[in-house]
Structure 1
Amino acid sequence: MIRKNFALPTNIRLFGEIFFQRGRECYLVGGAVRNMVAGWKPSDWDFATDAPPSEVISMFRRVIPTGIKHGTVTVLFKQEKYEVTTFRIDADYSDGRRPDAVTYTGDIYEDLSRRDFTINAMAINLNTGKLIDPHDGRADIKRKLIRAIGDPQIRFAEDGLRLLRACRFTAQLGFRLEEQTEKALSTCRFQLSNVSLERIRDEIVKMLDAEKPSIGFLVMEKSGILSDILPELSRCRGINQKGFHSFDVLDHSLYACDGAPADRLLIRLAALFHDTGKAVTLSTDEDGFPTFHRHEIESEKIAREVMQRLRFSNAQTDAVCHLVKHHMFHYTDDWSDAAVRRFISRVGREHISDLFALRLADQYGMTARTMEATNLTSFAKRIEAVLDKDMALTLRDLAVNGKDLMKVGIPAGPLLGTILDQLLEAVLDDPEMNKKERLLAIAKSLHQQID
């Protein structure tokens, strides 16, 4: 049904004209249309056409056959990348991930009927700017509703990833699930076993980009999906905390994730996993209150297991685990300067900003409200004062190195490393000790004592 005309950017109209000059149709489809209908800024320009992929390739100088098996190519046009897919009808999805085969069609309506949700099944004609909306997606946008096209169980059986997409859209868009679509999440969740861990990871990353990821994770929990793909988080439900905490460990973790900067993925991941170790370290003190001794160590192990399972890069995994491991610092104004230097040395100056952001997120997760951070402000000033003095804070900053120690008779090996560590401790305690002659004298003495 034609509902409305839309003004399209010049480059998009020029792109469409290339198709029209060949006697072909071209439509804007997907999330960009949804956003334009909702009045939001469009992104990820995707197109559908009746031209077969081979013809699309012939129309443009630079084309990447990114998914040509399923009718999709990526066109490089005026410094932009446009994904173009030929109108198609999908055959059965026997593996629950991708169609066994695709059949091209000349009908945009048939193409839209194969999509997942009504809000994603609209198209804008690039020639006229008219909206094509055969499944009332525009009405569902007004109602803030996520509704599967046709039978939701069939839609989810076609591609198990759609289960996570439904959860993600609740967080990204702030929409609710239509009743039958929501019920199908539970009955079809087994379909996720057919989805690669990389695709699951990518969907979680997209959810973490939402203003409040907690909305999507709570939908996942209600349907049982959370226990299937992130059982480490799921088992934090019902583990209560004391003190300023208003929530159990699961809700606290989800709200801490909300409180982390939306544009800093690693901090959001650290916030999500920072307390997962509480589920395995839970004990009670003599007054019957819950305690979680050294839960940060267990949380680091769990975070590493989850991130490796979901195929995050080693660098991402190490960065998140480092933050989780060190999130339990307890600064007070009576810390000595040496204690501040040891903190910087232990954490790494390059991680301090992220660690402070995680602490702020952790505090937000206690009440789901922003709290005063005067203690962190004071600590930041102390750290800044230390860094301004350019003191030795790592082994690299010492006035001596391994070669220097070997020259005075200390053999290479574990002992040399132990002595270097002790030299750093001495310098952290008294920066004036960082002089080559003094350190070599200490090193010789330590070698004699140990040897």
Structure 2
Amino acid sequence: MLTLPQSAKHIITTLKKHGFEAYAVGGSVRDLLLKRKTHGWDFTTNATPAHILALFPDSFYDNQFGTVGIKIKASSVKDKALSEETIDVYEVTTYRSESGYRDHRHPDEVVWGTTLEEDLSRRDLTINAIAFDGEKIIDPYQGETDLKNKLVRAVGDPETRFKEDALRLLRTIRIATQLGFTIEPQTFSAIQQHTQLIKQVSADRIRHELMRIMESAYPADGVLVLKNSGLLAEILPELDQAFGVPQKSPGRHHIYDVGTHLIESLRHCPSKNPLVRFATLLHDIGKPAVFRQNPQTKQITFYNHEVTGMTIAKNICLRLNFSNRDREKIVTLVRWHQFTVDENQTDATLRRFIKRVGIENLQDILDLRIGDRVGSGAAITSWRLRLYMKRLEEVQKQPFTVADLKVDGHDVMKIFDISPGPKIGKILDQLFNEVITQKLPNEREPLLKRLTEIK
């Protein structure tokens, strides 16, 4: 039996008590039926925004589409699903019908509707057009059947749905990816026919949907669906062009073309971080631009592809409006993914590598390397990579700068009985050199003892 959380019941009960119809609707009901964790709740009602605002003191209305936001505090509704400090915002929208979509994103006209069925008919997918009031399910488009059959299907005519809102092209693929569902053939065909409409969607919305695909359970499959639909060529043409670029040649271990290798690398990347997954998807994005093949030997080369790839990845991130911080992380991982795994490298060499990549990105670039290996047809790891990772672990215990020493200038001034000045820096530099050459451990007591010795 389906049970709404107390916070959702509170919304519906309050509206019903005052003579209005009210239903939970959309992805929250879909996830409830699938026994998945729900993220926020959406409701639809025949109450107007003015009625909703009057009934819920902690509500606000700042749009033209009939959607009122209601702030929900756990303590006010005794909802165990929310912590005491949680303030969530639930959206309650008046029944409506829409017409005219000249920009392929927003309706030209919104009219308040009178029935639930009229409201559900404007929704994107059958599995999102299911309503529930805590007692009965309203499902005019057989969304429950599609849930059981693991199908994502447009409500009514799919071409009409996608022309109304071009974001639905990408959103449909994202939802199918998140759920591990198949897109119904007629719906998928409509996506293929209208991929050019995605140009009407803002970069921010495209990035948001892409990152939700990246953080899903099946990101590689999602990118393949983007490829097969034709949407990939519109939103990530650099990646689309990587398919068909060969890598297999005498002496090379690759079994896939560049595009397929990138998909398989993403599939096997152990990181759950969507930015790391996206960097893994882009790590060889520079290869098509630097592809060369010797006509006599058939040998293929991709010289400096990581440098070229860094520039391409940066341009992609700029185009999709990634934050500076996220862009820097993605670009760093792409630039330095081609690091040499050699267990005999000196500590100084390893420290330089860690400085380039950043300690905060170290595990991420190793996860990228694992995806890269398996995506090339190799084993998940090797004795050399395991030993290299162990060496990196050991080197991280050593200081990287004077500031990492377990003593500081105050200790020097106290032991030497001197005032601030350049001598302090010279003494700390001497200690630092002795630590990184492993003559001294970076531990406070041995360092203090050494200071007294060189006084």
Pick the TM interval, shorter chain.
Answer: 0.7 to 0.9
Change in 2 beyond 3 A, CA 1:11/1:268 = same
Change in 2 beyond 3 A, CA 1:375/1:101 = farther
Which blocks of at least 5 consecutive residues in structure 1 are unaligned?
Answer: 401-406, 409-422, 434-451
Per-residue deviation, 1:389: 2.9
Q: Tell me the amino acid that sits aligned with residue 132 of structure 2.
A: I
Per-residue deviation, 1:352: 1.0
Per-residue deviation, 1:323: 0.9
Match of 1:313 among 314, 319, 323: 323
- Which residue pairs with 2:104 in the alignment? 96
Question: Which range moved further: 48-57 or 312-321?
Answer: 48-57
1:123 and 2:131 equivalent? yes
Change in 2 beyond 3 A, CA 1:284/1:146 = same
Question: Partners in 1 of 2:104 and 2:325 — Cα distance?
Answer: 31
Match of 2:64 among 69, 75, 97: 69
Change in 2 beyond 3 A, CA 1:32/1:329 = same
- Which residue pairs with 2:165 in the alignment? 159
Question: Partners in 1 of 2:367 and 2:402 — Cα distance?
Answer: 22
Question: Partners in 2 of 1:76 and 1:189 — Cα distance?
Answer: 37
CA contact (8 A) 2:286 2:312 kept: yes
- Which residue pairs with 1:217 in the alignment? 223
- Which residue pairs with 1:341 in the alignment? 351
- Which residue pairs with 2:255 in the alignment? 246
- Which residue pairs with 2:212 in the alignment? 206
- Which residue pairs with 2:303 in the alignment? 293
Change in 2 beyond 3 A, CA 1:193/1:396 = farther
- Which residue pairs with 1:195 in the alignment? 201
CA contact (8 A) 2:153 2:183 kept: yes
- Which residue pairs with 2:447 in the alignment? none
- Which residue pairs with 2:339 in the alignment? 329
Question: Partners in 2 of 1:14 and 1:429 — Cα distance?
Answer: 63
- Which residue pairs with 2:37 in the alignment? 41
CA contact (8 A) 2:153 2:187 kept: yes
CA contact (8 A) 2:107 2:164 kept: yes
Q: Tell me the amino acid that sits aligned with residue 126 of structure 2.
A: T
- Which residue pairs with 2:15 in the alignment? 19
Per-residue deviation, 1:366: 2.1
- Which residue pairs with 1:417 in the alignment? none
Change in 2 beyond 3 A, CA 1:200/1:396 = farther
Match of 1:276 among 285, 291, 304: 285
1:182-238 Cα distance to aligned partner (Å, 9 max, x none)? 111121112112111111111111111211212222222122211111100000001
SS at structure 1 position matched to 2:61: strand
Q: Tell me the amino acid that sits aligned with residue 96 of structure 1.
A: H
Change in 2 beyond 3 A, CA 1:140/1:288 = same
Give aligned-pair identity as a percent: 37
Q: Tell me the amino acid that sits aligned with residue 257 of structure 1.
A: L
Question: Partners in 1 of 2:379 and 2:211 — Cα distance?
Answer: 24
CA contact (8 A) 1:391 1:431 kept: no
Q: Tell me the amino acid that sits aligned with residue 289 of structure 2.
A: V
Question: Which range moved further: 176-185 or 346-355?
Answer: 346-355
Match of 1:171 among 161, 174, 177: 177
1:124-171 Cα distance to aligned partner (Å, 9 max, x none)? 013x2x111000111111111111111111110000011111221231
Question: Which range moved further: 34-43 or 174-183?
Answer: 34-43
Question: Partners in 2 of 1:396 and 1:296 — Cα distance?
Answer: 34
List aligned pairs for 1:431-442, cutoff 5 A: none
Match of 2:188 among 162, 173, 182: 182
- Which residue pairs with 2:395 in the alignment? 386
Per-residue deviation, 1:383: 2.0
Q: Tell me the amino acid that sits aligned with residue 92 of structure 1.
A: G
- TM-score, structure 2 length as denominator? 0.82
Per-residue deviation, 1:256: 1.9
Per-residue deviation, 1:391: 4.5
Question: Partners in 2 of 1:352 and 1:337 — Cα distance?
Answer: 16
SS at structure 1 position matched to 2:50: helix
Question: Partners in 1 of 2:176 and 2:405 — Cα distance?
Answer: 48
CA contact (8 A) 2:399 2:436 kept: no
Question: Partners in 1 of 2:402 and 2:121 — Cα distance?
Answer: 62
CA contact (8 A) 1:345 1:394 kept: no
1:276-316 Cα distance to aligned partner (Å, 9 max, x none)? 00010111256312211111111111111011101111111
- Which residue pairs with 1:236 in the alignment? 242
Change in 2 beyond 3 A, CA 1:259/1:360 = same
Q: Tell me the amino acid that sits aligned with residue 350 of structure 1.
A: E
Q: Tell me the amino acid that sits aligned with residue 232 of structure 2.
A: L
CA contact (8 A) 1:342 1:393 kept: no
Question: Which range moved further: 374-383 or 312-321?
Answer: 374-383
- Which residue pairs with 2:445 in the alignment? none
Q: Tell me the amino acid that sits aligned with residue 173 of structure 2.
A: C
Q: Tell me the amino acid that sits aligned with residue 370 of structure 2.
A: L
Change in 2 beyond 3 A, CA 1:394/1:357 = farther
1:105 and 2:113 equivalent? yes
Q: Tell me the amino acid that sits aligned with residue 133 of structure 1.
A: D
Change in 2 beyond 3 A, CA 1:383/1:260 = same
Query: Any runs of at least 4 consecutive aligned residues in structure 1 with deviations exceeding 4 A, and if so which?
Result: 393-397, 426-433
- Which residue pairs with 1:449 in the alignment? none
Change in 2 beyond 3 A, CA 1:172/1:329 = same
Q: Tell me the amino acid that sits aligned with residue 344 of structure 1.
A: I
- Which residue pairs with 2:6 in the alignment? 10
Question: Which range moved further: 150-159 or 50-59?
Answer: 50-59
Question: Partners in 1 of 2:379 and 2:140 — Cα distance?
Answer: 44
